[in-house]
Structure 1
Amino acid sequence: MSLTHDTGQPIEKQPDPDAIVTVLLPEDEYTHTPDAAENYNESMYLNAFDLGLEAGGWFRLGNRVNEGYAEMSVCIYLPDGRVGFMFGRPAIDSNDVMEAGGLRIEVVEPFEHLTVTYDGKVCLLDDPASMADPRTAFRENPIVACSVRLDYRGVSPMYGGKPQYADGRELPVEPGKSFAKAHYEQHCAVTGTITIDAPPAADGEPAGDATVIDIDGLGLRDKSWGPRYWQALTWYRWLPMVFGDDFSMMLSVIDRGPDADGGTQPPATSGMVLVGDEYHKILDCRVDADWNERGEQTALRCWARTAEREYEITGEVLSMIPLRNRRSTPDGEVLHTRITEAMTRYECDGRIGIGMSEFLDQVVDGWPIGVATP
């Protein structure tokens, strides 16, 4: 838009410096200089699924360099229903690379090509639900070798980035209440191999052949950075799913807590639908779930609306592992967050897809806060 004065020459209207814009640069694919906040977190997450095998997994590194460690997670969903899982807090002293605990995430070409490698161990769970008590689960289940070699190549544009003021100023962030100051996602084609050794027999030798999962499928990757506490949000529902390299989705529903007057407000909804080679932004969505006796999702009924059309999606949980994060406040209160990570089969428009349903809830009085009490 432009204005004119009495000479007839156009005068360009200057952008509002206080307008909020979203910025994403190729260098954001690499690590950033950490904020001063103690809970600064630089996180990369990638999942991968093969629909024909109904198998796959996800991988995450969260560098908490100001706290001296990284959060490292590897989760593999085997075709027979077992889950291989490992979590650790390996020590780090810099934020220069995304590599810790045997897991490495490397950017080959920004926005185009990444690799994930892992050489380490996983706890092999016949009953993934037993990870609700991680100490017992790690003690009573075999720990076996695991190798991951995966290539990720973008099949979509980038979604998201860093909100900031138009003149380049950063938005204010309250570290104690922050989950991230920047976040972006992308759907990818994924190829490679995941290998998990068989558990040992009584003589210590492997009791059978290793499980080799040859992935030729799709997935989603995301990245975020900035201060994070897992307790900063009351609850959320995050559903990344892939039907094909021309049709994929991500649905997000986040509880926003009370409004300024202490009243309730509707959850924040967002996401995108990959149609062909472009993203259609989700303007509104809804996620309803069926629950088991532990308040874990078992089936989903979802609705989403873009400017172009509406979608109805159903989901069936194939394999689920419950995870947790605990943090003590300065006054000694223990805060407990539960995250149920479920490989889920989806259906939309007659097409079958696969992906995740990740549900985060704060646990209050022993029950996840976003789940109705049975």
Structure 2
Amino acid sequence: MHHPFTLADTSRHTPDMEDESWQESFFLGWTDIRNKVCGHHHISLCPYLGFAHVWTWLIVDGVEVARSQENRIPLPDRDLRDMKVGILHFIAGESIRQLHLTADFQGAKVEVDYEGFTDPVHVEINTGGKLKLGSLHYESMGSVRGSITMGDRVIAINGSGWQDHSWGPRRLSSNPAGRWVFAVFGSDLAFSLYVLSAAGQSFTFGYALVNGEVDPIESAETGFVVADDGISPISNDSLLWTRSGRAWRITGKVIGTALVGGPGWTGDGFHWWMDGLTRFECGGRVGGGILEVSTLKAPTDEIKAILKAQ
């Protein structure tokens, strides 16, 4: 799972193929479970269509209080190392582990500094050859410090974060359902888990970060509980087995939720997920992060074949 990423990889990339689904995405998500606040800040650039999108929201006191949903805005001119897209402004730090973000919501302003516990980790998100989510993807988990300003109210942020950067062809329709967990307990223990469906199969991958070492996840039981609306996560009781032979049990309770998603590129349909600001426990330790649920919204080709609908 290791890849020699450098500061150059934090810059904007040029498509290396003629594919209208080629895109470049950049994301920072963070949580502070003590203050019950959470931020989700995602941009995606599609050079062939000449558009960008911004999907970003803010949870305060366990409730969504601000959102910016811009699905087709002009591509920015500047590089990802210092880029303004919609209400978001990303500035890369001197180290590949550092990132500063400003989000100017209507009625709320977020300023956070993120620092990864390690250099970015390469994760093969097209596991199994069925998923088409990007040619290259790196991510990291770390700490966030900053503030939220809402009128006269200022909330100090002292929590955990997850940052990623992907580029290459992306067909969101290749992944009709899935589960994702990021859970941070400290610089010595954190987890990033994916269980994604594609072509009638389920693919499990991710890693445990233990004392700075990456231990790939080989199998898992997510144990998600989802609300009666069919998409909002309530809790989890997850079991993970890693390559080193270790097993971990992580439980979590959702504090607040917010929708994520929008239209895919090049007629790839409309896609959505529900994220939950979550308080986790593992071996007596308490941490923060996100549970994400994507539920199956239409019959897949495999389901149609079984039910003889084709």
The two structures share one fold, judged by TM-score above 0.5: yes
Within 5 Å, give how 1:340-351 maps onto structure 2.
340-351=274-285
When residues 257 and 281 of structure 1 are mapped into structure 2, their CA distance, relative to the original with a 3 A threshold, is same
Structure number with greater Rg is 1
Q: SS of the residue aligned with 2:162?
A: strand
Name the counterpart of 1:76: 58
Name the counterpart of 2:116: 154
- Equivalent residue letter for 2:247: E
For structure 1, list consecutive stretches of 5 or more residues without a partner in the other structure: 1-19, 122-143, 164-172, 198-208, 259-264, 370-374
The alpha carbon displacement at 1:229 in A equals: 2.8
Do the aligned partners of 2:89 and 2:101 also contact (CA within 8 Å) in 1?
A: yes
The alpha carbon displacement at 1:232 in A equals: 2.2
Percent identity reads 27
Q: Measure, in 2, the Cα distance between the counterparts of 1:60 and 1:245.
A: 24
Q: SS of the residue aligned with 1:255?
A: strand
Q: Measure, in 2, the Cα distance between the counterparts of 1:21 and 1:112.
A: 15
Tell me which moved more, 81-90 or 280-289: 81-90
Name the counterpart of 1:262: none
When residues 79 and 275 of structure 1 are mapped into structure 2, their CA distance, relative to the original with a 3 A threshold, is same
Q: Measure, in 1, the Cα distance between the counterparts of 2:92 and 2:5.
A: 15
Does 1:96 find its partner at 2:96? no
Does 1:187 find its partner at 2:141? yes
Q: Measure, in 1, the Cα distance between the counterparts of 2:251 and 2:88.
A: 33
Q: Measure, in 2, the Cα distance between the counterparts of 1:327 and 1:280.
A: 32
The alpha carbon displacement at 1:111 in A equals: 2.2
For structure 2, list consecutive stretches of 5 or more residues without a partner in the other structure: 304-310
Q: SS of the residue aligned with 1:67?
A: coil
Name the counterpart of 2:235: 299
Q: Measure, in 1, the Cα distance between the counterparts of 2:222 and 2:236.
A: 7
Q: Measure, in 2, the Cα distance between the counterparts of 1:96 and 1:309.
A: 41
Poorly superposed stretches of 4+, deviation over 4 Å: 20-23, 327-330
Within 5 Å, give how 1:159-238 maps onto structure 2.
159-160=121-122, 178-197=132-151, 209=152, 211-238=153-180
The alpha carbon displacement at 1:234 in A equals: 1.8
Q: Give the structure with the higher percent strand.
A: 2
Tell me which moved more, 311-320 or 51-60: 51-60
Deviation readout 1:218-242 (Å, 9 max, x if unpaired): 2111110112232221212111111
Deviation readout 1:64-109 (Å, 9 max, x if unpaired): 2221221112221102534322111321165733421121112122
Q: SS of the residue aligned with 2:146?
A: strand
Q: Measure, in 1, the Cα distance between the counterparts of 2:210 and 2:140.
A: 13
Q: SS of the residue aligned with 2:63?
A: coil
Do the aligned partners of 1:154 and 1:188 also contact (CA within 8 Å) in 2?
A: yes
Cα RMSD for the two superposed structures: 2.8
Name the counterpart of 2:250: 313
Q: Measure, in 2, the Cα distance between the counterparts of 1:82 and 1:213.
A: 15
Do the aligned partners of 1:40 and 1:225 also contact (CA within 8 Å) in 2?
A: yes
Name the counterpart of 1:275: 210
Aligned residues: 292
TM-score by length of 1: 0.71
TM-score by length of 2: 0.84
Q: Measure, in 2, the Cα distance between the counterparts of 1:159 and 1:100.
A: 25
Q: Measure, in 2, the Cα distance between the counterparts of 1:221 and 1:91.
A: 24
Do the aligned partners of 2:23 and 2:170 also contact (CA within 8 Å) in 1?
A: yes
Q: Measure, in 1, the Cα distance between the counterparts of 2:8 and 2:124.
A: 12
State the structure with bigger RCO (CA 8 A, min sep 6), 1 or 2: 2
Do the aligned partners of 1:313 and 1:346 also contact (CA within 8 Å) in 2?
A: yes
Deviation readout 1:143-195 (Å, 9 max, x if unpaired): x33222111112124211679xxxxxxxxx99xx7311111111122111122
Do the aligned partners of 2:259 and 2:272 also contact (CA within 8 Å) in 1?
A: yes
Does 1:51 find its partner at 2:29? no
